């Protein structure tokens, strides 16, 4: 985990305020012990070198054999206090992290108005934060459709939300806007457009990777799907010409609040899957969600004959790029 992420998590810690016992009498300072605590805090939690670490007075805790030890992390005018636990014999330093089970954002993702694929009344929902230009998103999409979709039939509903990584994928935002223009008229046509883009990305890129040509290709494909779906072409053209990114920015903001740093990011009734993973692993998560919802997952298909090993393709990539 990156240092910045660990440190950000550290800053978010802290025990809830409430009724407190009277503070214990201060013990005599031990510079050697204080130094060991500071060094351990810096090492274990990746505190940046330019932050200062200072220890506060101990206080009683609710954990037998331990006292609360406030540690202040500061740089310049900014500081935060993190509560640690230290054993009465000064041999163990611990940290408690509190999770609010009632306010976990993964369980309250806003799907209002988003196109649904599958049974709208299904008790398990798969939400995918998607980037229509992302090759790893295309790989995840191919894991979900058709095999995962066909495996679970009416037991699961699928919903996509937009999280275009515009710094990496220059036509992803335009694609998301066009997809939403189609969704405003037909959820089914929205899904055919998403299917097409996730299997024809190179067609949109073009040989010369000219961005304006990519935009034109996206619009052309959207009109093509609208014609097949018998949508209102004039209404679609007006929507695409406007290129209103407001709704998409709201979804990328929500993705940020969920700590999403790359795509795809999938949530199955709150349980998170990061990156493109094999469909069998997706099925494990969906099966868990079904059982928790009181439904029996479908039987696991029999394993087919083993295929000869193939050499791995050259090159590498970062998830979500």
Residue 114 and residue 256 in one domain: yes
Model confidence band, residue 87 (pLDDT cutoffs 50, 70, 90): very high
* Domain residue limits at 68: 3-95
CATH number at residue 254: 3.40.30.10
Looking only at the bridges linking them, the beta strands covering 116-118 and 93-95 are: unpaired
Residue 118 and residue 42 in one domain: no
Q: What is the mean predicted confidence (pLDDT) over 40-57?
A: 89
Residue 15 has pLDDT above 80, yes or no: no
Q: Identify the domain boundary among 95, 129, 159.
A: 95
Q: What is the mean predicted confidence (pLDDT) over 262-288?
A: 95
Residue 63 and residue 156 in one domain: no
Residue 249 has pLDDT above 70, yes or no: yes
Closest CA to 110 of 132, 131, 125: 125
Whether residue 62 is contained in a domain is answered as yes
Whether residue 174 is contained in a domain is answered as yes
Residue 189 and residue 45 in one domain: no
Tens digits of residue pLDDT in 196-248: 999 999 999 999 999 999 999 999 999 999 999 999 999 999 999 999 999 99
Residue 76 and residue 121 in one domain: no
Model confidence band, residue 305 (pLDDT cutoffs 50, 70, 90): low
Q: What is the mean predicted confidence (pLDDT) over 156-184?
A: 98
Whether residue 210 is contained in a domain is answered as yes
Which residues make beta-bridge pairs with 166?
none
Residue 108 has pLDDT above 70, yes or no: yes
Model confidence band, residue 304 (pLDDT cutoffs 50, 70, 90): low
Number of domain units in the chain: 2
Residue 283 and residue 240 in one domain: yes
Residue 151 has pLDDT above 70, yes or no: yes
Residue 134 and residue 255 in one domain: yes
Percent of the chain's residues with pLDDT above 70:
84
Residue 19 has pLDDT above 70, yes or no: no
Closest CA to 201 of 175, 228, 180: 175
Better-predicted residue by pLDDT, 171 or 46: 171
Whether residue 258 is contained in a domain is answered as yes
Whether residue 320 is contained in a domain is answered as no
Which H or E run includes 80?
Answer: strand 78-87
Model confidence band, residue 16 (pLDDT cutoffs 50, 70, 90): very low
CB under 8 A, 24+ apart: contacts of 30-35: 30/90, 33/90
Residue 139 and residue 273 in one domain: yes
Residue 194 and residue 60 in one domain: no
Average pLDDT, the chain: 87
pLDDT at 44: 84
* Cα-based distances in Å from 115 to 181, 191, 276: 12, 8, 22
Model confidence band, residue 20 (pLDDT cutoffs 50, 70, 90): very low
Residue 260 has pLDDT above 90, yes or no: yes
Q: What is the mean predicted confidence (pLDDT) over 246-266?
A: 96
pLDDT at 48: 87
Give, rounded to a whole angstrom, the gap between the first and last alpha carbons of the chain: 18
Residue 28 has pLDDT above 80, yes or no: no
Model confidence band, residue 12 (pLDDT cutoffs 50, 70, 90): very low
Residue 162 and residue 34 in one domain: no
Whether residue 223 is contained in a domain is answered as yes
Between CA 290 and CA 297, with CA 294 as vertex, the angle to 5 degrees is 40
Residue 37 has pLDDT above 90, yes or no: yes
This prediction's pTM? 0.71
Residue 302 has pLDDT above 80, yes or no: no
Whether residue 178 is contained in a domain is answered as yes
Whether residue 308 is contained in a domain is answered as no
DSSP 237: H
pLDDT at 83: 93
Residue 210 and residue 66 in one domain: no
Residue 192 and residue 213 in one domain: yes
């Amino acid at each position: 985990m990156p240092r910045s992420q660990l440190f950000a998590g550290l800053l978010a810690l802290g025990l809830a305020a409430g009724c407190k016992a009277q503070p214990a009498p201060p013990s005599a300072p031990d510079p050697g012990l204080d130094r060991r605590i500071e060094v351990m805090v810096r090492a274990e939690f990746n505190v940046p070198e330019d932050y200062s670490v200072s220890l506060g007075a101990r206080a009683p805790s609710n954990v037998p054999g331990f006292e609360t030890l406030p540690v202040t992390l500061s740089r310049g005018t900014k500081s935060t206090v993190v509560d640690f636990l230290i054993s009465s014999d000064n041999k163990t330093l611990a940290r408690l992290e509190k999770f609010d089970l009632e306010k976990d954002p993964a369980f309250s993702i806003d799907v209002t108005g988003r196109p649904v694929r599958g049974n709208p009344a299904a008790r398990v929902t798969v939400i995918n934060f998607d980037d229509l230009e992302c090759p790893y998103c295309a790989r995840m999409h191919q894991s979900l459709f058709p095999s995962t979709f066909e495996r679970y039939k009416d037991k699961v509903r699928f919903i996509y939300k937009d999280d275009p990584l515009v710094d990496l994928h220059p036509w992803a935002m335009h694609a998301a806007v066009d997809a939403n223009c189609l969704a405003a008229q037909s959820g089914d046509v929205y899904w055919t457009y998403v299917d097409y883009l996730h299997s024809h990305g190179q067609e949109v890129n073009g040989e010369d990777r000219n961005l304006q040509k990519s935009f034109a290709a996206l619009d052309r494909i959207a009109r093509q799907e609208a014609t097949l779906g018998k949508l209102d072409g004039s209404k679609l053209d007006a929507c695409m010409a406007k290129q209103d990114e407001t709704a998409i920015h709201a979804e990328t903001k929500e993705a940020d609040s969920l700590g999403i740093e790359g795509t795809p990011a999938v949530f199955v009734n709150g349980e998170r899957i990061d990156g493109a993973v094999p469909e069998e692993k997706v099925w494990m998560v969906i099966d868990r969600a079904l059982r928790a919802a009181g439904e029996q997952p479908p039987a696991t298909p029999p394993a087919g004959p083993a295929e000869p090993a193939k050499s791995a393709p050259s090159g590498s990539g970062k998830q979500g790029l």
